[in-house]
Amino acid sequence: MKLQINGEHEVIDQEQLTVSDLLVLKAVKMPEMVSVELNGDILDRDQFSTTQLNNEDEVEFLYFMGGGIGAA
Amino acid sequence: MNLNEEQIERYSRHIILQGVGGDGQEKLLNGKVLIIGAGGLGAPVALYLAAAGVGHIGIIDADVVDISNLQRQVIHFTPDIGRPKVESAKEKMNQINPDVNVTTYYDLFTKDNALDILKGYDFVVDGTDSFPSKFLINDACVIAGKPFSHGGILRFDGQTMTHVPGTASYRCVFKEPPPANAVPTCSQAGVFGAVAGMLGTIQAAEAIRYLTGVGELLTNRVLIFDALNMKFRTVKVKPSELGLTDFRESYDQPVCDLRSRA
């Protein structure tokens, strides 16, 4: 399927894909440290494994970032 | 225009700037901004707001200057090691611009003092380094109806967004703080010093633009940059109904604050 991930168009060679699967595929090391926006809406963390992605979906990964001492 | 001759000279580059002008400069001189944290982000914010002539600047921080701060916290100098950061910051701000009235709070920003402190300010800048603090600042500002700038940096990356009542807040993007065990230790993470300056000056620009009313604020958008490859982008975000009228969780001290806050 075709997805737009963090503003970049990407073709993922899979027909079925959840948000959790995508986090694994994109090698996001700590899913607890990312907030996911799907087509403009922020998902709850417990929706990651149940939310199926569809062709042309727009996905944004927004990472937790601390401050001056790099608290994350 | 109620500016005196020296002020007209000092602020001439703002006064001739279309969109700011003498009226905008007067608004800055009458403005009150609270900076929470006198570290990597707070340092450039404090320097630029003082230089711009923001009339009243509050700065709160409970830490003292450490040698490891000097790589990025540009308001503190080597002889300041061991001094309270707020004291060191105030001294530099007054030297840049004696027009500016600086109030220091050598204290932690907590849910017990948050609303009292916020009362006196028009705009708040989050320059803190921990997630509990960021959620506390968000919640306090939402409850008090105060606009604020969120800022976060990590390694080579930075993110910032501005909240004014009715627009998306930090909690609309990051619903809850991350679990404490997901946070690696400070020494593993690190931060590229110039990133603090890049992000802090964006936050200072937001405060100045809020006070003067010039341009379009960074609301309902998160600005993200990657200084390793020097790429900037903004992500649109929506306000959600938070129903936030009182403080939520306990805002516990996070892993990274144990050393400095003990």
Residue A8: give its domain's CATH number. Answer: 3.10.20.30
Range of the domain at A35: 2-63
Question: Considering CB atoms only, which of B152, B176, B186 is closest to A65?
Answer: B152
pLDDT, residue B183, reads: 59
Nearest CA in chain B to A33: B178
Question: Considering CB atoms only, which of A41, A62, A69 is closest to B235?
Answer: A62
What are the tokens at B139?
A: 């919640």
Per-residue pLDDT of A21-47, as tens digits, reads: 999 999 887 788 899 999 999 999 999
**Which one-letter amino acid corresponds to residue B168?**
A
Q: Tell me how many helices (H) and strands (E) chain A has.
A: 1, 5
Cα dihedral B124/B127/B130/B135 (nearest 10): 20
Question: Considering CB atoms only, which of B69, B173, B191 is closest to A62?
Answer: B173
Q: Average pLDDT in the B118-132 region?
A: 94
How many CB atoms sit inside 10 A of residue B125's CB? Answer: 30
- Report which DSSP code applies to A44: P
pTM for this structure?
Answer: 0.93
pLDDT, residue B246, reads: 83
User: Interface pTM (ipTM) of the complex?
Assistant: 0.87
Å between A1 CA and nearest CA of chain B? 22
Q: Average pLDDT in the B72-77 region?
A: 97
* DSSP state string for A5-27: ETTEEEE-S-S--BHHHHHHHTT
pLDDT, residue B252, reads: 65
Query: Does residue B8 lie in a domain region?
Result: no
Å between B204 CA and nearest CA of chain A? 15
Contact A70 B153 (CB under 8 A): yes
| Percentages of chain B per state (helix, strand, coil), in multiples of 5 | 40, 20, 40
Over 70: is that where the pLDDT of A67 sits? no
Query: Does residue B3 lie in a domain region?
Result: no
What whole-number percentage of chain B has pLDDT above 70? 91
Contact A37 B37 (CB under 8 A): no
Range of the domain at B118: 31-261
Burial per residue of B191-203, b for 16 or more beta-carbon CB atoms within 10 angstroms, e otherwise: bbeebbbbbbebb
Per-residue pLDDT of B225-258, as tens digits, reads: 999 999 999 999 999 887 788 887 667 654 444 3
Query: Does residue B15 lie in a domain region?
Result: no
Residue length of chain A:
72
How far apart are alpha carbons A67 and B256 in whole angstroms? 11
What are the tokens at B30?
A: 């009458």
Nearest CA in chain A to B43: A68
How far apart are alpha carbons A32 and A29 in whole angstroms? 9
Comparing B155 with B123, the larger pLDDT belongs to B123
What are the tokens at B39?
A: 């570290």
- Report which DSSP code applies to B246: S
Query: Does residue B16 lie in a domain region?
Result: no
Query: Does residue B12 lie in a domain region?
Result: no
Over 70: is that where the pLDDT of B38 sits? yes
The total of structural domains in chain A comes to: 1
**Which residue from B234, B204, B229 is spatially nearest to A37, judged by alpha carbons?**
B234
